[in-house]
Amino acid sequence: MGRSRRTIPEELLLLALDPATGTTAQPQSLDLGLAGAQLVELALAGRIAPDGDRIAVVMARPTGDPTLDSALELLRRRGSPVRAVHWIGGPRLGLRQIYLAHLERCGMVHAVSGQMCGVLPTTRYQATETAISRDIRARLDSAIRTGVPPDPRTAALAALAHAVGLGKHLYPGNEGRSSRSRLRDLIRHDPMGGLVAHAVMDVQNGVAAQPRRTTTTPDNGSRHAAAAGVPMQPHHGAMARAVVHH
């Protein structure tokens, strides 16, 4: 994929970075959001498509983005559509750190090493290309304030930002309440983004074992997940240790 455009996982991560502290807001739910953002990006690239509450590979050709292609290959190996909640709730060890390292290589962020309590090593990330971060934020602000239906990328980004709880980070306090509400409402403008965002929220709420809707396909998701070693609930420990956060 061309590098003239940031992917949705990268944009979501840049939105979550706190410019003052160099930490990421909502770190545990952000881990889920990044896995979901990969699905949206692959859908926009024509590689996958929704099949009820499941995700089906429709084109296995690589995108040229190594991290996305790794996810695409894992989906392809499943051999049948996988429920979005099972995919998002599965282990994604180091995914957030992978994207932070990528943004650092691209010159988008700068890693700052330090120590916690004078003992534990920490790494914080400061955005260096602030114009790009401002542009991402401006797209969300425009969609919220104008009421004009956003493009699919912005709609999906808004849906994921809401799903991982970035609303209070982006639009804090009582004065941001109406903006947070409109951010939530943008979820309806992109079907794939909406599917993934609801799956992210379902995993956080512990309801991943139940399908969101009835489909004509027998629900073998639990059997497939168990066979593949995918847990029903996310494991955040390794990723939570990768980056210092609130």
What is the C-alpha separation between 195 and 209, in angstroms, rounded?
16
Mean pLDDT, residues 239-246 taken together: 36
Q: What is the pLDDT of residue 229?
A: 34
Is residue 193 within 8 Å of 224, Cβ to Cβ? Answer: no
The tokens describing 220, both together, are 């073998």
The answer to whether residue 30 scores a pLDDT higher than 60 is yes
Q: Is residue 118 very low, low, confident or very high in pLDDT (cuts 50, 70, 90)?
A: low
Mean pLDDT, residues 75-87 taken together: 94
Which helix (H) or strand (E) segment holds residue 206: the answer is none
Q: What is the pLDDT of residue 115?
A: 58
* Other Cβ atoms within 10 Å of 156 Cβ, number: 32
Q: For the chain, how big is the Rg over CA atoms in Å?
A: 18
184-202 pLDDT, tens digit each: 999 888 899 999 999 999 9
Q: What is the pLDDT of residue 101?
A: 87
The answer to whether residue 18 scores a pLDDT higher than 90 is no
Q: What is the pLDDT of residue 234?
A: 36
Query: How would DSSP label each residue in 112-180?
Result: EEEEETTTEEEEEEEES-HHHHHHHHHHHHHHHHH-PPPPHHHHHHHHHHHHTTTHHHHS-TGGGHHHH
Q: What is the pLDDT of residue 3?
A: 45
Query: Which has more confidence, 157 or 2?
Result: 157
Local structure of residue 117 (DSSP, 8 states)? T
Local structure of residue 129 (DSSP, 8 states)? -
Report which listed range, 117-121, 144-148, 162-166, 242-246, is most confident.
Answer: 162-166
Model pTM score: 0.78
Q: Which amino acid is at 219?
A: D
The answer to whether residue 90 scores a pLDDT higher than 70 is yes
